[in-house]
């Protein structure tokens, strides 16, 4: 497995490694785990209760939780399905995660975030369709770089009428105290955005800085 989250290149979730991540309905009376059943043509995912579930308290509301399972070999073109329904599961292959070549001085990697098509429980296994990297800075608000499968709606804030920005031809989007750029490239939807932090000094980055980050994104 390759490391280097801060550089934007991480071990693939599917297709080039042996770890698969999925969100599914958790909570209720106990904990659950993700199971993967493999054959030469298909990898099917399902949820199963852990043996310690009986000893855990019951939650009143089911919630979406993220679990991982280990495959015996890479996906390598095999279909990924929900074992209970046989339905195909759309997935983000981490091997295609873009690199980010530019960050304003002072920004540091904070965390990865993953979004599925739905967070409503109960639901079957869903692998991430959008992968976000969040960077923090003491002086300005967070910077988020999101890469998503087509149709995921990674940045659905209203466009402010400005388009064709940068080499990507991005649209400028605004929502509340946040400003962002949205564009498509290489079969993915991308968004780079910044929003004001919790202090008066933590303002959103200007569009000019977001353009520099966006133009540095490399597939």
pLDDT in tens, 115-167: 876 655 555 677 778 889 999 998 888 999 999 988 877 778 888 889 999 99
Distance CA 139, CA 40 (A): 52
Distance CA 1, CA 69 (A): 15
What pLDDT does residue 91 have? 81
Structure tokens at 114: 């993953």
What Å distances lie between residue 102 and 29, 209, 210, 218, CA to CA?
Answer: 46, 10, 10, 10
What three-state secondary structure class fits 94? helix
> Nearest 5 degrees, angle CA 131-CA 133-CA 137?
160
Q: Domains (ranges, CATH) in the chain?
A: 5-95 (no CATH), 96-218 (3.30.200.100)
Q: Say which residues have a Cβ less than 8 Å from residue 57's Cβ, sequence separation at least 6.
A: none
What pLDDT does residue 57 have? 53
What pLDDT does residue 218 have? 92
Distance CA 18, CA 14 (A): 7
Q: Say which residues have a Cβ less than 8 Å from residue 188's Cβ, sequence separation at least 6.
A: 96, 98, 147, 148, 149, 150, 219
Those residues of the chain that have pLDDT short of 50 are 1-17, 60-61
What pLDDT does residue 51 have? 66
What pLDDT does residue 84 have? 84
């Amino acid at each position: 497995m390759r490391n280097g989250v801060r550089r934007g290149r991480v071990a693939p979730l599917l297709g080039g490694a042996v770890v698969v991540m999925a969100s599914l309905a958790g909570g209720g009376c106990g904990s659950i785990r993700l199971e993967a059943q493999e054959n030469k043509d298909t990898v099917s995912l399902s949820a199963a209760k852990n043996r310690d579930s009986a000893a855990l308290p019951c939650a009143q509301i089911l919630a979406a939780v993220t679990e991982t399972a280990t495959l015996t070999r890479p996906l390598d073109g095999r279909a990924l399905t929900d074992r209970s329904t046989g339905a195909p599961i759309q997935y983000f292959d981490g091997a295609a995660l873009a690199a980010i070549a530019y960050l304003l001085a002072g920004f540091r990697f904070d965390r990865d975030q993953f979004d599925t098509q739905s967070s409503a429980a109960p639901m079957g296994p869903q692998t991430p369709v959008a992968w976000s990297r969040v960077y923090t800075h003491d002086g300005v608000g967070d910077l988020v770089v999101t890469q998503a499968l087509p149709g995921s709606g990674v940045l659905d804030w209203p466009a402010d009428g400005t388009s064709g920005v940068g080499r990507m031809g991005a649209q400028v989007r605004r929502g509340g105290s946040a400003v962002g750029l949205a564009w498509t490239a290489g079969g993915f939807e991308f968004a780079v955005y910044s929003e004001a932090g919790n202090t008066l000094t933590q303002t959103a980055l200007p569009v000019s800085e977001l353009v520099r980050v966006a133009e540095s994104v490399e597939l």
